[in-house]
């Protein structure tokens, strides 16, 4: 067999496979459409079976309004007194202040911030979504020494360095 005959046979086989694949896809499409129609009919029949027939009873005059009983309001429905914060609100504020003071004293806030930062970044890494993130306190530590850059600039200026001047690199010997 020559190379041309082999390439012709390969082309014919590829065309045959493509034709079979298209037929399978068309058959699958017809099956899914048929199943969808059957499901739709089934749902319509169920809906018709559940709907009560609308017949008016001649012996009823109409729907009676619901009778509401006058009950005293529950604790949740009562309106708070407008004199100022109640005892619970005062206690809640005191507890919040105490917890904030303890966190500052124990350094818990810094640890909690570290954990939150790790959790946010892990979530972004796992899900692949970009969400709000702020730098961790420890990541900002190098910027605490920014004032030293001005000292270095002053030192370079005293040594004769100027801005935008061509830098001369030492020659390697």
Q: 172: part of which helix (H) or strand (E)?
A: none
R_g (Cα) of the chain, nearest Å: 40
Answer yes or no: are the C-beta atoms of 62 and 70 closer than 8 Å.
no
State how far the Cα of 134 lies from the Cα of 120, in Å rounded to an integer: 9
Q: What was the pLDDT predicted at 129?
A: 83
Q: Is the pLDDT of residue 167 over 60?
A: yes
State how far the Cα of 53 lies from the Cα of 97, in Å rounded to an integer: 64
State how far the Cα of 34 lies from the Cα of 28, in Å rounded to an integer: 10
Q: What was the pLDDT predicted at 27?
A: 94
More confident residue, 51 or 8: 8
State how far the Cα of 9 lies from the Cα of 4, in Å rounded to an integer: 9
CA geometry: angle 1, 7, 19, nearest 5 deg: 130
Q: What is the pTM of this model?
A: 0.26
Q: Tokens for 79, please give them.
A: 């309106």
Concatenating the DSSP letter of every residue in 123-148 gives: HHHHH---------GGGGGGGGGTHH
> How long a stretch of residues is the chain?
173
Q: What is the CB-side half-sphere exposure of residue 50 using CA atoms within 13 A?
A: 6
Q: Is the pLDDT of residue 42 over 90?
A: no
Residue that is written with structure tokens 């600039």 in the block: 153
Domain positions in the chain are: 8-48, 108-155
**Which of 39-53, 90-104, 154-168 is the most confident on average?**
90-104
CA distance between the termini of the chain: 70
Split at pLDDT 50, 70, 90, the class of 59 is low
Q: In the 8-state DSSP scheme, what is residue 119?
A: H
């Amino acid at each position: 067999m020559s190379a041309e005959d082999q390439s012709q046979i390969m082309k014919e086989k590829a065309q045959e496979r493509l034709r079979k694949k298209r037929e399978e896809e068309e058959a699958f499409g017809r099956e899914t459409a048929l199943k969808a129609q059957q499901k739709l009919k089934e749902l319509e029949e169920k809906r018709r079976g559940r709907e009560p027939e609308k017949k008016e009873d001649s012996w009823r005059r109409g729907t009676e309004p619901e009778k509401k009983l006058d009950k005293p309001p529950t604790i949740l429905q009562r309106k708070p007194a407008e004199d100022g914060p109640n005892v619970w609100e005062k206690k809640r504020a005191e507890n919040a202040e105490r917890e904030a003071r303890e966190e500052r004293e124990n350094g818990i806030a810094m640890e909690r911030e570290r954990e939150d930062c790790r959790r946010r970044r892990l979530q972004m890494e796992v899900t692949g979504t970009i969400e709000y993130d702020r730098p961790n306190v420890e990541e900002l530590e190098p910027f605490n020494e920014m004032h030293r850059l001005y000292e270095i600039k002053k030192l370079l200026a005293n040594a004769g360095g100027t801005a935008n001047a061509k830098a001369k690199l030492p020659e390697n010997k």
